[in-house]
Amino acid sequence: MIKIIDTSKVTDFTVFAREDEKKNEEIEKTVEEIIANVRANGDKALYEYCEKFDRCSLSSLAVSEDEIQEAFDATNDYFIETLKEAKENIAEFHKRQVRNNFVITKEDGIVLGQKITAVEKAGLYVPGGTAAYPSTVLMDAVPAKIAGVKEIVMVTPPSPEGKINPAILTAAKIAGVTKIFKIGGAQAVAALAYGTESVPKVDKIVGPGNIFVATAKKQVYGKVSIDMIAGPSEILVIAEPDCDPSCVAADLLSQAEHDKMASAVLITTEMSFAEKVSDEIERQLKLLPREEIARASIENNGKIFIVDSIKTAVKLSNEIAPEHLEVCVDNPFEILPEITNAGSIFLGKNVPEALGDYFAGPNHTLPTSGTARFSSPLSVDDFIKKTSFIYYSADALQKAHERIEDFANREGLQAHGKSIGIRFNKF
């Protein structure tokens, strides 16, 4: 059963923020060894890990064009059209994020500016374990294409037969992925970070994965950039008591089925409604193919908080800073300005989180574990670099040089000052 917590006498909601994931030293060490092996032995290590972890023997790590086309041809037209429509929705949203170069021209020959350049190669990690996610392919590849990334390299684990889920390959073809490799886990992250005989080294790695993938991304950060270190999936629902309890329960379970560590939280104002939702969760759990996973999530991490008002619910939600926040109230836009910490916000009673996962357009790769307090969803910005440039004429430098030299000397960096003064025969 899901836990129901009455917070009517609580004034400090920080105690309900999700605890940080504890560092697992054994996993850290295992991932460190995998990365070292891939760096030292390249493709040989990847083939060995494929046999060990994926239980398959491959003749090639790369997915061929024939395999991609075969998967596309085997996919029914209805789903292909769905993928294309979702891609257009994602593209329409993310095109609004494109940054432009700018130039500031001042008097006396001063030119300042910023130029935007896409990273040259991006690596996309797409999970393929207990579930396959073609939606992740679209969410990661479309912003990269819009940013102008020249080479998009996707990695995803194969089945024991050495196959990739056809829906993933179809989504990759539609999204414009450049290369695809049959590798997963920490070894795939290592290959993208350092390169092997087959896998090109990339500049940034994005995409969700299990604890080994997340740990590997953390360990290679600095050699390459990463989007974020994603933890287990989360949903928080703020619901008025007149909501349909079956819909609220279904929305909570939509994230609980991801994995046993996922978190599903409801905040409402009436105990009777909380009990109805709890009963609905139990009823619907028994109908789910992934009941074992969802039940573990609900029993270990699921909570229903009873608060005195929707305003208090928002305050508690801001402390938790959830990955997904559903605001199931009649006038959600009145509440929107008060929400400060959430990865993505779903406004109203007709907007289940799954709408954002697959179709609406905003990105579904979101900050977890409370990091929505300071970080953002995956976007076009994740695939670009901002570079500033400066031009001063001789006259412009002449006017500023004494102030710059003085500034440098006050910091004790005389060589900095001399690099300015020498242009005016001071040394």
CB 126 within 8 A of CB 152: no
- 323 is a catalytic site residue: yes
Q: Would you give the DSSP letter of residue 241?
A: T
Catalytic residue among 67, 234, 323, 326: 323
Q: Would you give the DSSP letter of residue 224?
A: B
Rounded distance, CA 377 to CA 138, Å?
14
Rounded distance, CA 170 to CA 137, Å?
10
List the beta strands (DSSP E) in 107-216. Answer: 110-118, 121-125, 151-155, 179-181, 204-206
Catalytic residue among 324, 326, 353, 364: 324
Q: Which residue has the tokens 């970080």?
A: 375
End-to-end CA distance of the chain: 79
| CA triple 251-84-80, angle to 5 deg | 90
Closest of 132, 130, 131, 127 to residue 154, by C-alpha? 127
Q: Would you give the DSSP letter of residue 376?
A: -
Amino acid identity of 368? T
Residue 146 CB-half CA count within 13 A? 25
Known catalytic residues are 323-324
